[in-house]
Every structure is written in C-alpha cells, then in structure tokens.
Amino acid sequence: MRNSLLTSGLVTALLSSLCCITPVLALIAGTTGLASAFSWLDPARPFFVSITVVVLGFAWHRKLKPKAKDEIDCACEPGGEDIKPSFWQSKKLLGMVTVFAALMLTFPLYAHLFYPKTEKQVIVVDTSDQQTVTFEIKGMTCQGCAAHVEHEVNKLSGILNVTASYEEGNAIVEFDKSKTSVREIEKAINSTGYSVTNKKAN
C-alpha cells in the first residue's frame, strides 16, 4: 500500500511539471522541436499538484500516526525485539520521495535557470535598420518555455533584444533588419515547437 502511494506521488509530480521539464531536456539533447510536446498537460497541472500533495500527505500521516497496541504487538518477534522496517518502508525513502516531488512541483519556477545567458554585442550601423516586432506565440506554459524561445531567437545574428513572456503569450524582439528578418525570427520560434500565431510591428 505504502509503495503504491509513493509511486502515485512520484508519477503525478512528474506529470505536473512534464510540460516544463521537456524544453530543458530538449535543449540538452539538441532537439528543440520536442520542447512543446507535453504542453497539452498544462491545464491539468493543478489536478496533478493536488493529487501529489494529497497522496504524500496521506503517506506521511500513515507513517507518523501513533501505532495501536495490536500493531505494536504484531511488530515484535517472539523474542521481544522490534522488527526494523525495510528501506522501502522507511521514513528515509518517504523523505527522499517528498523532496523529489517538491523539486518537480516547483520546477516551473526555476526552469529558466537551465538556459545559458546569451550576451552579445550587436553594432547597428544605421538606426533606420532597427525594428521591433511582437510575436504572439501559442504553447508556452511557464518561464522555462519563455527562456527557451529567447535562447533560440538569440542564436540569430542581428538580435538586439528579445523578451518572451508566457503570461502574455508573446515575444518582443528588437533586431537589425539588415542582418536578420521577421521570417527568420518566426522560423526560430517555430523550431522550438511553439507556434507564432500573429506578428505586429511596434
């Protein structure tokens, strides 16, 4: 019973953050197109978080509640010594699972830290070549998704600044149009697996 509770807690914790873990794994693997593969799970995230908290809370309740007298009597060997619980039934394992679940549940809050900062200096010869475009993007569900879009766009030459926001569902890109184009930027965003639905010059 306890092992099935732990397994359920782990699975739901992973499912709750899978949409944000995938972009990081895609970056590491170099397959950016897989970044949005599990974004469809995001609407169910509150459900998975709730299940994880309830399951692990129940597991801790069972582990910490005082034992009844008949349970204590059954736990003793004929010689009178207590039977030491196995690792699979220990507080240590439950604690490890709880810490791992907490890291998974909060992953969307720190996923952006896994993306390298791209510092580059772009010299604009003619200010008339500077252009700012807002790209409306479908599929971003957390800060990690936005960081993934920024990372891909910053790979292009001529990018002066890019700010992506999953809350707003967009990316504002300032660039030198003599070195790159709206089409190239849109292509870079779409390569992440998220899709540009509209674009507007600022």
pLDDT at 171 over 70: yes
Looking at residue 102, what is its pLDDT?
86
pLDDT at 138 over 80: yes
Domain borders along the chain are 2-110, 115-201
Looking from the CA of 163 toward its CB, the CA atoms found within 13 Å total 5
What the block records as the tokens of 158 is 């001529």
Looking from the CA of 108 toward its CB, the CA atoms found within 13 Å total 22
93-118 pLDDT, tens digit per residue, is: 888 888 888 888 887 777 777 776 66
The answer to whether 131 and 165 have CB atoms below 8 angstroms apart is: no
The answer to whether 32 and 192 have CB atoms below 8 angstroms apart is: yes
Which stretch of 35-44, 46-55, 68-77, 78-87 has the lowest confidence by average pLDDT? 68-77
11-51 pLDDT, tens digit per residue, is: 777 776 766 666 666 666 655 555 556 666 667 778 888 88
Element (H, E) at 60: helix 45-64
Cα torsion 26, 31, 35, 38 to 10°: value is: -90
Element (H, E) at 167: none
What gap in Å lies between CA 174 and CA 185, rounded to an integer?
10
Looking at residue 128, what is its pLDDT?
85
Q: How far apart are the first and last CA of the chain?
A: 59
What gap in Å lies between CA 131 and CA 28, rounded to an integer?
31
Looking at residue 100, what is its pLDDT?
87
Looking at residue 176, what is its pLDDT?
92
Nearest alpha carbon to residue 141 among 192, 92, 67, 76: 192
Cα angle for residues 179, 196, 40 (degrees, 5° grid): 140
pLDDT at 81 over 90: no
Looking at residue 132, what is its pLDDT?
96
pLDDT band of 173, cuts 50, 70, 90: very high
Looking at residue 93, what is its pLDDT?
84
Looking at residue 153, what is its pLDDT?
94
142-163 pLDDT, tens digit per residue, is: 888 888 899 899 999 999 999 9
Q: Which amino acid is at 115?
A: Y
Kindly report the number of other CB atoms within 10 A of residue 129's CB atom: 13
Cα torsion 50, 52, 56, 61 to 10°: value is: 20
CATH topology of domain 115-201: Alpha-Beta Plaits (3.30.70)
